Amino acid sequence: MKLNRHGLCIGGLQAELALNLGGLQVEPGLNLGGLQVEPGLNLGGLQVEPAPGGEMITRREFIDTVALGTAGLAIGSAASSYAQILGANDRVNFAVIGLNGRAYAHLSSLKANADSARITHVCDVDSTILDKYAAEAQKELGYGPASDKDYRKVLESKDVDAITIAAPDHWHTPMAIAGLEAGKHVYVEKPCSHNPAEGEMLLRATQKYGRVVQMGTQQRSSPHTIEIVQKIHDGLIGRAYYAKAWYVNTRKSIGIGKEIPVPATLDWELWQGPAPRRPYKDNLHPYNWHWFTIYGTGETLNNGTHEVDVCRWALGVDYPQRVTSSGGRYHFKDDWQFYDTLVTSLEYDDKMLTWESKSCNGMKFYGRDRGSTIHGTTGTVLVDRGGYEVYDLGGKKTDEFKTGETTATTDLVGRDSMTDLHFANFIAAIRKGEKLNAPIAVGNVSVTTMQVANIAWFVNRELKLDTTNGKVLDDPEAMKMWSREYEKGWEPRV
C-alpha cells in the first residue's frame, strides 16, 4: 500500500471505495498534508510500503503534527479523530531525567499509560541512582530503557519524543528549555522554575518552539477536584472569598555539612550545572538540596505550590495585589537556609488566600497533613487528594466524597492515580491535541506567586505586586531576587 501526494494507492491502483483504517473511515484520495508516510508505519494494521518521489514523514513528525494541531490533513476531523489511524507506532517515547525520588512516580504512571507511552531513556548524574532506577524500570516494564548520565546526550536522540524532569529545582527551566530547543515535549515537575525570571523564559520558549509543556501539579487532573472546583464556581458555597492551604511534615535536621571528596559515582559539575560553583558537602545530595537557596526553593515551592494552585483555581484568581510571609527556622539550628514554619498571606481585590507550613511538626489540620479549605458566603468546602467535604455556614457537614484510592501525601515519591491521569492528559495533548490540565502558562502563575512569597520572607516586609505579571512594585531590593546568579557559560537563554 502507498500513501503519496496523489492520494491513496493500493497496488498502484487509485482507491475507488472508502477504506477503513483502524476504525477511521477514509475517503478516496486521502492526502496526508502532501507528505508520504514512511515505510513501515502501521495504520490500523495496514503496513505502509514505500512510494517513489516526495518527502517522507516519520513517526516522530506525525506525532508532532498531531501535538501542534497544524497537520493540514484532508481527513476533515479534529486531532482526536485522525489520531485513531495511528497504531502501535504512535506511542510517545519518553526520557525520564532526574531519578532519585519523584521519578519513580513517573515510572509508575508511564507504565499505567503503556498503551500510549514507552520509556526509551533514563538519565541521572549519579550512577548509583541511575543503576537502581534502570533496574527497577527493567523489572516494572519488562524491557530496559537506555541509560545515560548526561541529559544532553539524551536530547540528541531522535527516538525521544518527550522528557520528564524530576531533577533538582535549579535545573527545571534550563533543562526544559534545552528539551524544547531539541524538539521535545516537556513534563516538568513543580516548581517549573527556580526563580520568576526563569518562569518568564520558559513561557517564551514554549511559545517559540511550539511543543507541549505540562507542569506536575497533578491535582489539576484529579476528577473529584475538577468536579468540586466546578461546583464552587457554580455557586455551591455562594461567593467564594477565602481559601486556606496547608502542609505539615516531621522533617529531621540536616545538620552542619562537612566538605568531603565528591563521590566517584556523582558528576558534581553536571549536577551543579547553572548554579554557582560550591564545594561538595555531605548533607546536600541526593535530597537536602531543597533547603539551600542556590539549588532549592524551600517548602513553599516544594509542597505549597500544589495546594495554593488548587485554592487559586477554586477562587478564580491569578496574581495577588499584596504578599506577606512570616516565619523562620525555629525547630533546628543547622544549614537549612529557609524556614521550617511559615504563614503566607496573598491578598486580592476582594479575596484572600493563606498558606501555612510546618515542616518539622506533624500536627495536622482537620486531620490531614495537607489540603485546602475554600470559604464562601453560604458554606465551606474542604478538599484534599482523597476527596472533599461540604459544610454549611454553621459548619455542619452536608455532603462528602472519598476516592477510596491511595493518594500520596508527605512521602517523597508520590505514586497515585492523579499522577497517572496527569500523564494521560499530557500524552493525549501530544497525540490528539487534547487540552492540557496544567499548561505552563497556568502553572507558572502559582509558581511565580509563591516565589514572590519567598522573596517577601527574605526581605521581611509586605510586597505589592503588578497583578498582570507578578512583578514587585516600588521595591528594587526585592526585585533583585527576581532572577539569580548563574555559573558563567551555563546561563539559560531563549
Domains assigned to the chain: 2-88 (no CATH), 89-219 (3.40.50.720), 220-417+440-479 (3.30.360.10)
Position 430 scores a pLDDT of 98
Position 344 scores a pLDDT of 98
Position 60 scores a pLDDT of 65
Angle at 491 between CA 487 and CA 494, to 5 degrees: 175
Q: What is the pLDDT of residues 341-385, one digit of tens each?
A: 999 999 999 999 999 999 999 999 999 999 999 999 999 999 999
> How many Cα atoms occupy the beta-carbon half-sphere of 88 within 13 Å?
4
What does the DSSP assignment read for 121-158? Answer: EEE-SBHHHHHHHHHHHHHHHSS--EEES-HHHHHH-T
In the numeric block, which cell numbers belong to residue 349? 481585590
Gap between the Cα atoms of 5 and 217, Å rounded = 43
Pairing of strands 463-464, 322-328: antiparallel
In the numeric block, which cell numbers belong to residue 275? 548554579
Three-class secondary structure of residue 485 per DSSP: coil
Position 56 scores a pLDDT of 52
Gap between the Cα atoms of 316 and 198, Å rounded = 24
Is the distance from CB of 9 to CB of 30 less than 8 angstroms? Answer: no
Q: Where are the alpha helices (DSSP H) in 260-367?
A: 268-272, 298-299, 305-315
In the numeric block, which cell numbers belong to residue 428? 493525549
pTM, whole model, 2 decimals?
0.84
Is the distance from CB of 94 to CB of 457 less than 8 angstroms? Answer: no
**H or E stretch covering 468:** none
Q: Which residues of the chain have pLDDT under 70?
A: 1-89, 406-414
Pairing of strands 117-123, 92-97: parallel
**H or E stretch covering 209:** helix 196-209
Pairing of strands 24-26, 19-21: antiparallel
Is the distance from CB of 188 to CB of 159 less than 8 angstroms? Answer: no
Is the distance from CB of 190 to CB of 305 less than 8 angstroms? Answer: yes
Position 415 scores a pLDDT of 78
Torsion of CA 343, 346, 351, 355, to 10 degrees: -30
Query: What are the φ and ψ backbone dihedral angles of 259, each rounded to 5 degrees?
Result: -70, 125
- Cβ of 118: how many Cβ atoms within 10 Å? 19
Beta bridge partners of 185: 162
Position 407 scores a pLDDT of 53
Is the distance from CB of 34 to CB of 72 less than 8 angstroms? Answer: yes
- The terminus-to-terminus CA distance of the chain in angstroms comes to 43
**H or E stretch covering 265:** none
